[in-house]
Amino acid sequence: MANDPASLTARQKTRCDAVKASVKDAGFDDSVSVSCHDGKALIASDTWPDHEMMTGIVGINEQVPVPAKGYASPVVLEPKMRGSEETPYTRDAALGVAVNGVPIYDYTGGGEMSQNDLASYQADNDTLATKQLDACGGHSGRGDDYHYHVKPTCMIDRMKNADDNPIIGWALDGYPIYGDDNPDGSHIANEALDICNGQPDKTFGYRYHTSQKAPYIVQCLMGKVPDQKDLPRVAPLSVANDTSDANSRGRPAGTPPQGGVEDLVFTQQESGKRSMDYIYHGEAYYIRYTPSDTPDCYDFETRTVTDGGDVKTGEYCR
């Protein structure tokens, strides 16, 4: 864990120590770093988990997971709750980060939730119900970035302290995220969780939870979030050696095949080669990519439903 400047207040240092401990105690401090300064804890990783990914997804968007080196989630070290007249904060990107460094989104896949959306179940955009997620609770988004939308079950299975009802992540407003139960192991009372899937906490002031029913995980932030424009967002892969305006579009976006796909399997080899293979209407499709000679770039070969089954190649970079 990185050293911290002496400029932290006592409260900030206490929260910084808690963030560091949550990563270390879970056993992820070899791949996730935490540094604290300017009132925030930066939880940095390449967003690549050490568990299976993508396999079993039906509602695939024809995007794949690619490491995002240096991705850093800023967690407020001296959090403050929003006032009674302020609405919860929402965004169409990460609201928090798991202790293994993987970003955490709300449960929907239809863009930023409105205040009305928060109050009613979004069935059509429920990523779990529409089979857009793998068995571990995640998938890849427009940025070819892996992230969670519900309880990260596979990550929790790998946590060294999983039996202790530990902190499994942090929301960007500075409050911890726990699993389905209270920190003492007791069950959460019916209707105890608020609209953001959280409740008061004696130690941290407030905490979020995962749950078996929607919204499954944090869906909005009850705490204040300074510098909102600086919050992290993984951009789409860019075209290698292309500085034209067209490059701003990056790797072309996939379109979910109508009705979903079958037999989707994601594999990766020690060489770094990765492949996502699936069946649609009886035909085989795939997205294959291998690290190229250019740092943080990959040679892609794809046959997708989005492209009408045409085989395409290209080099794309973070």
Read off the pLDDT of residues 177-192 as tens digits, 9 standing for 90 and up: 999 999 999 999 999 9
Both 163 and 270 in a single domain?
Answer: no
- CA angle 268/315/229 to nearest 5° reads 90
Q: Which among 66, 72, 135 is positioned nearest to 298, based on CA atoms? A: 66
Q: Does the residue 278 lie in any domain?
A: yes
State the Cα–Cα distance between residues 69 and 85, nearest whole angstrom: 39
Rounded to two decimals, the pTM is 0.95
Which domain-ending residue is among 198, 230, 262? 230
Res. 4: pLDDT tops 90: no
Both 208 and 257 in a single domain?
Answer: no
Lookup: tokens for 91: 């965004």
Kindly calculate the radius of gyration of the chain based on its CA atoms and give it in whole angstroms. Answer: 20
Which domain-ending residue is among 230, 250, 280? 230
Q: Does the residue 4 lie in any domain?
A: no
Looking at residue 91, what is its pLDDT?
Answer: 96
Domain range for 284: 238-317
Mean pLDDT calculated for residue range 264-290: 97
Res. 135: pLDDT tops 50: yes
Beginning with the edge strand found earlier in the chain, give each strand of the sheet holding 169-171 in spatial order: 138-140, 146-148, 103-104, 96-98, 169-171, 176-178, 205-209, 198-201
Tell me the residue length of the chain.
Answer: 318
Q: Does the residue 141 lie in any domain?
A: yes
Identity at 63, one-letter amino acid code: Q
Q: Does the residue 61 lie in any domain?
A: yes
Looking at residue 229, what is its pLDDT?
Answer: 86
Mean pLDDT calculated for residue range 188-212: 97
Both 166 and 18 in a single domain?
Answer: yes
Res. 3: pLDDT tops 60: no
Both 249 and 192 in a single domain?
Answer: no
Q: Does the residue 2 lie in any domain?
A: no
Both 140 and 80 in a single domain?
Answer: yes
Looking at residue 311, what is its pLDDT?
Answer: 98
Which domain-ending residue is among 230, 253, 271? 230
Mean pLDDT calculated for residue range 133-155: 97
Band (pLDDT 50/70/90 cuts) for residue 243 is low
Q: Which among 287, 226, 290, 228 is positioned nearest to 252, based on CA atoms? A: 287
Mean pLDDT calculated for residue range 84-91: 95
Helices (H) and strands (E) in the chain, counts: 3, 17
Both 215 and 190 in a single domain?
Answer: yes
Both 294 and 149 in a single domain?
Answer: no
Both 83 and 225 in a single domain?
Answer: yes
Band (pLDDT 50/70/90 cuts) for residue 7 is confident
Q: Please, what is the average pLDDT of the chain?
A: 95
**Based on the number of CB atoms within 10 Å of its own CB, is 107 exposed (0-12), middle (13-18) or buried (19 or more)?**
buried
Pairing of strands 169-171, 146-148: unpaired
Looking at residue 2, what is its pLDDT?
Answer: 56
Both 117 and 25 in a single domain?
Answer: yes
Tokens 């400047």 — which residue? 5
Looking at residue 247, what is its pLDDT?
Answer: 47
Domains of the chain: total: 2
Both 54 and 102 in a single domain?
Answer: yes
Both 56 and 173 in a single domain?
Answer: yes
State the Cα–Cα distance between residues 194 and 83, nearest whole angstrom: 15
Both 199 and 281 in a single domain?
Answer: no
State the Cα–Cα distance between residues 178 and 54, nearest whole angstrom: 24
